Structure 1
Amino acid sequence: MKLIFAGTPVFAAAALQALLEAGHEIVLVLTQPDRPAGRGMKLKPSPVKELALQHGLRVEQPLNLKTPEAQALVAEVGAEVMVVAAYGLLLPKVVLEMPVRGCLNIHASLLPRWRGAAPIQRAILAGDAETGITIMQMDVGLDTGDMLSVHPVAISDDDTAASLHDKLAAVGAQAIVSTLAQLAQCPAQVQPEEGVTYAAKLSKEEARVDWSLPAADIARAIRAYNPAPGAHTLLAGEPLKLWQAHAIAGSAAAGEIVRADADGVVVGSGAGLVVLTQLQAAGGKRLAAREFVAGRAALAGCVLGA
């Protein structure tokens, strides 16, 4: 098909690669403007832009799609479909109606559960057993459009947002290819009214660990905030980031380190114990518990968060 592709991060780049490999004609790529990154804060192109330029595709980076100039970019190419994946900009109604067969979104949840900005992280935080990819016909609402195909993905007990992202990116890439191949035979299904939840944008403040919560909730939060914004606490008054954890039975005062060895730093909570298996001190690198403990004096008895 003759497609416009709109996307920005790695999740979207996986879909663009799959569409190219499937032989679709990508007549225009829309992605967000280059952003400052790294220590030098130099402008860095998005993963989608980098991939598009490697393939000699036309790339445009409007600040938004509300201006006549930006809308003309979409109108003039005469695309059959616009495929949207984590683009990060709203599509006005006039733009949604420009492609002959509309705009399809690759959404990282089983709609109507987890509409919104952070569906991967919210699914882990909630303890969901599965999530998935929904290919959706876009409308003016927030992830409210009709569903064309649904592709479940199991959430494992050790999944982080990073690992689950990679699973979903791979599934989403194949899902959009298969949906486009059967578009004429894909009956659109209205999203059910029951089961709607919203995946609010993440904040650094909510990623601060509350050790009074149950251990299972804390462990899920640590995995959900990996890689961003990063679960964090204090150790002897200094910032400490937590990247991987699981819960076990036991009891101790909330935040108290009861054991620290090669198997993990074991911390009390509101119910159960949290085993921290990957940690990062301020100014340091991510370390497995074995390495983290080896470089420090006795940690048992210390209280995290104080």
Structure 2
Amino acid sequence: MPRPLNVIFAGTPDFAAESLQALLDSRHRVIAVHTQPDRPAGRGRKLAPSPVKRLALEHGISVYQPETLRAPEAQAELLALDADIMVVVAYGLILPKAVLGVPRRGCLNVHASLLPRWRGAAPIQRAIEAGDTESGVTIMQMDEGLDTGAMLLVRRTPITATMTSGDLHAILAKLGGEAIVEALDALAGEGLPATPQPETGITYAAKLSKAEAELNFHEPAAALAARVRAFNPWPVAWCTFDDDRLRLLMADASELAAGEAHSAPGTLLDHDGEALRIACGHEGREVLRVTQAQLPGGKALPVSDLLRARAERFTIGLRLGRHDEEASA
């Protein structure tokens, strides 16, 4: 059997920690971990280690936390580790050309999309928002571009009609861990063919912002439902609700009932005990069914529970969201 590879692991959030755990459970040797510097977290804003750092320390692995990898001293530390390969998963720092060539076998990235679709910062959320029916992970040989390197391994998974970004995140994190171990096993032996990414089908997954989480009920029901699922658990879709904000965590697209007249977008048509039916789309001719929501100061609840507790807040005919000229633009 070929000898195990000596691996530097670079990653920061929970998604990356899943791949690190898979490598720790494999026959390969994680000789060092690079992660983002500790950041303020929680109400007290105390410095907190990343999930990757916590896991590395639990296993007695040396942790490096440079502010940048462009600094000569950071590059010297990497070179001194004498690694076979570097595995990068949601690290958060750009790897300059000088770093890409430090490990003998280069740097591999676990990317949460089927490249070249959804290069960039938020591939999981953008795939759901766009209505994609499939996602996956790509093990990529890193180069100087933004997620442009050759593909070594691809693993796929369906996106179901009720899947949130949180659901898909958990699936892809596990799949990524399995795929990177499989890739390293192959590279330690006979190797893996590197396939250049196609020049067609390239899309970019822009970073999420809180500003885009406000829903516009003039948009089609399918687009709104996809955005609700894409923005769960963050930044969470919302709409104005009287003088409050109603956060929407699960929804699906529906149609007007037989004989039901269309209403202005944002109108609460009714609630059947299980969902809030909100008019949306062109002239309010479609329906967004909201099945999980959250009132200010409350918990995220199934709408059935929310109605039992606060039915008086959900008056039929109430207008939700902005309904001025700006909303209809």
Question: TM-score by structure 1 length?
Answer: 0.98
SS at match of 1:202: coil
Match of 1:207 in 2: 213
Match of 1:266 among 243, 268, 277: 277
Residue identity (%): 52
Of 102, 109, 123 in structure 2, the residue corresponding to residue 105 of structure 1 is: 109
Partner Cα distance (2:28, 2:192) in 1: 18
Cα separation, 2, equivalents of 1:92 and 1:150:
25
**Residues 1:243 and 2:254 aligned together:** no
The partner residue of 1:182 within 169, 182, 186 is 186
Aligned partner of 2:57 in structure 1 is: 53
Deviations 1:178-230 (A, max 9, x none): 01111243100000100000001111111110110110100000000011111
Aligned to 1:98, the other structure's residue is in SS state: coil
The residue number in structure 1 matching 2:300 is 286
1:161 aligns with 2:177: no
Cα displacement (A) at 1:260: 2.1
Equivalent residue in structure 1 for 2:81, among 77, 82, 104: 77
Aligned residue number for residue 44 of structure 1: 48
The Cα of 1:237 is off from its aligned counterpart by 2.0
How far did 1:299 drift? Answer: 2.5
- Structure 2: state its 5+ residue gaps: 257-261, 323-329
Shift of residue 27 of structure 1? Answer: 1.0
After TM superposition, the structure 1 = structure 2 runs for residues 136-155 of structure 1, keeping only pairs within 5 Å, are 136-155=140-159
1:185 partner SS: coil
Task: Compute the displacement of 1:36 (Å).
Answer: 1.1
Partner of 2:327: none
Q: Which moved more, 1:107-116 or 1:38-47?
A: 38-47
Give the structure 1 partner of residue 265 of structure 2.
Answer: 254
The code of the aligned residue for 1:145 comes to: G
In the TM superposition, residue 262 of structure 1 has moved relative to its aligned partner by 2.7
CA displacement at 1:293 relative to structure 2: 1.4
**Which of structures 1 and 2 has the bigger CA Rg?**
2
- 1:253 is displaced (CA, Å) by 2.4
CA RMSD of aligned residues (A): 1.1
- In the alignment of these two chains, the number of paired residues is 306
Residue 221 of structure 1 pairs with residue 251 of structure 2: no
Secondary structure of residue in 2 paired with 1:295: helix
Q: How far apart are the structure 2 equivalents of 1:109 and 1:219?
A: 21
Match of 1:27 among 2, 25, 31: 31
Q: Secondary structure at the match of 2:318?
A: coil
C-alpha offsets along residues 47-67 of structure 1, whole Å, 9 cap, x if unaligned?
A: 101111111110111111110
> Are residues 1:295 and 2:309 paired?
yes
Letter in structure 1 aligned against 2:152: L
Query: What is the SS of the residue equivalent to 1:91?
Result: coil
Stretch deviating more after TM superposition (248-257 or 3-12):
248-257
Q: Normalization by structure 2: what TM-score?
A: 0.91
Tell me, what secondary structure is at the counterpart of 1:158? coil
Q: Structure 1: where are the runs of 5+ without partners?
A: none
Determine the structure 1 residue equivalent to 2:259.
none
Q: Distance in 1 between matches of 2:315 and 2:68?
A: 51
Contact in 2 for aligned 1:261/1:289 (Cα 8 Å): no
